[in-house]
Amino acid sequence: YTQNKVRIEFSRGELTSAGKNEQTPVIYSKPSGDSGMALYNIDFVNTYPQTTNTAALAADFYGANIAAYGCSFVGFQDTLLANKGTQVFSNCYVEGSVDFIWGFSTAYFHQCMIVSNTPGAYIAAHSRATADAPGGYVFESSVITYSATYGNNFGRSYLGRPYNQFSVAVYMNSYIDKHISSAGWAVWQTNNPQT
């Protein structure tokens, strides 16, 4: 991704309470059937500024057999929606702030840079319908770090929080930087922990 020559930008944000998240992504992909899609070496950037409770997606992937190789997904809240189906992200760069990798799919992140750009970030917010439903996020051999805009409020960000009580997010064989809280994980909300 460091040598990518194609960069696609878009600037749109919507309040999360409005239910219009899927009107904000730079790329929205919903292939029919099992046709799938593969992306190579493209940067997708939602330039909408950090705004409280505002979704500004760089990508929304909905469907089976979707893969991104050497791509970048940059935004703030809700950057990458691994929505439904199955996705693979290999050697990609994903940057954001609140719940910036989220959704309901089965997604595998291999050798990716996962970058928090504001303190108090939550990386993964995953959801499944039931305890035995397929799905979850796996981050393997990845680097979990922070950007130059993050500042020096270390220990205030989290690997994730449960979008519902059946949330699954696994980090394995990965480097986790000092910006992540020693607790590792956060509750969804104080009055609705969903753990």
The catalytic site residues sit at: 78, 99
- Check: CB of residue 153 under 8 Å from CB of residue 110: no
The token pair at 129 is 């319908």
Q: Give the largest CA-CA distance in the chain.
A: 46
CA dihedral of 25, 31, 36, 40, whole degrees rounded to 10: -30
Q: Work out the number of other CB atoms within 10 angstroms of the CB of residue 53.
A: 12
